Amino acid sequence: MAKPASSGILEYTKSLGIALILAFVIKTSIVEAYKIPSSSMEDTLLVGDFILANKFVFGAQLPIPYVDWRLPGYRTPQQGDVVIFKFPVDRQTNYIKRCVAVAGQVVEIREKVLYVDGQLYEDPEYAKYTDRRINTNGSDRRDNMAPYRVPKNHIFCMGDNRDNSYDSRFWGPVSLDLLQGEALLVHWSWSPDTDAPEIDLADLSSIPRSVFYNLQHFYQRVRWDRLGDLIG
């Protein structure tokens, strides 16, 4: 006996609802995608990289308004982890940096060289310096910073692009309750193109121009060699 059409619609609606709930749970507590908007993590991460982050590792924050509840994580950040967190100043903007020291450790910078607990901290594989000058201005902590002990329940974060990163050297440590996740891999990478026409909603003709241009240059703009790269 055939089922009525209304029964089929109900089943479809239930399935769709379950799928949406599962997608929401995965996005908010397990894995989430982020786009890299700045050069502060070059050459580990490039502008236009799209990455996946493990939100479960440090304990994901539940998306409940006005309540600061988090799921339990299975470990705390370690030196070398590339982490996503809410910017401590506004607690809204997503930042991505490398954890170079954890609570209790002492961070010091001498003429661009980073030391943790008095030991040289080796630069990550793709870290870089773009300014050979050593800044001796005592108020600028980019190249020289007096020993600083990371407080309890905090980490100290720096960008791999050491001369062009706004990080813990300038605004202090990151509280663990601001962590959003650990960067896992690059799932897409789209190279910036200054010649690409921008979409202007006030000019609807800009939409097909942008689409046509990007289709025309699609192969050249995708950084194929970066797809699937693990972040570390």
Catalogue the E-assigned strands of 59-153.
Answer: 82-86, 94-102, 106-110, 113-116, 119-120, 145-149
Q: How far apart are CA 28 and CA 208, in angstroms?
A: 34
Q: Cα 52 from chain centroid? A: 9
97 is catalytic: yes
Point out the catalytic residue in the list 40, 165, 168, 189: 40
Point out the catalytic residue in the list 29, 55, 97, 165: 97
189 is catalytic: no
Number of Cα atoms under 13 Å in the Cβ half of residue 47? 9
Q: How far apart are CA 14 and CA 8, in angstroms?
A: 10
Q: How far apart are CA 172 and CA 155, in angstroms?
A: 9
Catalytic residue positions?
A: 40, 97
